[in-house]
Amino acid sequence: MIGLDDVRAAAERIAPYIRSTPVVKMTATRQPLADAEVWMKLESLQPTGSFKARGATNRLLTTPRQELAAGIVTASGGNHGLATARAATIAGVTATVFVPETAEQAKIEKLRAWGAEVRVEGAVWDATNRAALAFAKERNAAYFHPFADPQVVAGQGTIGLELIEALPELDTVLVAIGGGGLISGISVALKALKPSIRIVGIEPAGSPTLQASLAAGHVVTLPAVTTRIATMACGRTDERIFGIVQEHVDEIILVGDEDMQAAARWLWFEFGIAADLSGAAGIAALRSGKLGLPPRAKIATLICGAGSNGIGIGRPMR
């Protein structure tokens, strides 16, 4: 699907449009997380509030102008939709974003503030995606897939380049998983640059898409998606994403929605960081005790998106 050269090309291409986000060491906390050196990569500081700006911008900049004339369409739990709406603003075209019924109201309002037309369709992302694909075909619009797109994956992989440059001694990276585009891009970059690095994915217990596929040895469709976290809900991944994860990801850990909500509150209490629940997934994994750590481990976790639902502001989880 992609290689290190694709990620490097994406980094150069998107540099004027994204932020090289800081890494912050977890120190002086009241409630220590782990007997390890833990760093946070603050992708919540990206334009629109998440890492998704990387992939959507790379997709935009590699798309011929004539293919954008009828606008851009996507299906998203929120963050990719925001990044796509921003990409459409850069291009000067319309954006239509389909979201599932579980999408946060705050993100829907933010999508509209970015000028997107928002359509609420489907109980889970997979149904939302089918509606978006049909709409894009009907309108002859460009479709920006949130994870099953090489240019999107290469854009997300630029995080890996920044991480290894900032923290060359890093030995473990924790990455939240929805459809798998983020962990695919990062793992391709990091494993090419440092094969010994350990890549750990974090999925909701109510949407173990890639864990179930790895256990089966092939891509499976989940019988049900029960997580309430729209940005991490996906009933079936892409075959190419599965292949990358199978080759490069060392382990996948499941955490509950409540665990991620508690982790988001911890981030707010300790650092004043308002992370969405996917952004708190790595913290939830560390707090769970499920992550076996070697002595003096040096870990990075991605705070991959900003949000207020985890700290009790905006619409509560139901």
pTM for the whole structure: 0.96
Q: Which H, E and C letters describe 301-316, residue by residue?
A: EEECEECCHHHCCCCC
Q: For residues 189 and 161, is the Cβ–Cβ distance under 8 A? A: yes
Which domains does the chain carry? 4-51+150-311 (3.40.50.1100), 53-143 (3.40.50.1100)
The predicted model gives 70-94 an average pLDDT of 98
Mean pLDDT over the full length of the chain: 95
Say how far apart CA 273 and CA 45 lie, in whole Å: 10
| pLDDT tens-digit series, residues 268-303 | 999 999 999 999 999 999 999 999 888 889 999 999
Whether the per-residue pLDDT at 316 is higher than 50: the answer is no
Q: For residues 156 and 186, is the Cβ–Cβ distance under 8 A? A: yes
The predicted model gives 309-313 an average pLDDT of 66
Q: Strands across the sheet with 23-25, in order?
A: 23-25, 37-42, 298-303, 172-176, 198-204, 251-255
Contacts of residue 153, defined as CB under 8 A and 6 or more positions apart, other chains included, come to 1, 2, 55, 147, 181, 184, 185, 188, 241, 244
The predicted model gives 95-124 an average pLDDT of 96
Whether the per-residue pLDDT at 315 is higher than 80: the answer is no
Q: Which token pair is 303?
A: 């705070």
* Amino acid type, 234: C
- For residue 31, the tally of other CB atoms under 10 A from its CB is 8
| pLDDT tens-digit series, residues 169-201 | 999 999 999 999 999 999 999 999 999 999 999
Give whole-number Cα distances, 37 to 245, 293, 296, in Å.
25, 11, 7
End-to-end CA distance of the chain: 38
Residue with tokens 């694709």, as numbered in its chain? 6
Q: For residues 178 and 231, is the Cβ–Cβ distance under 8 A? A: yes
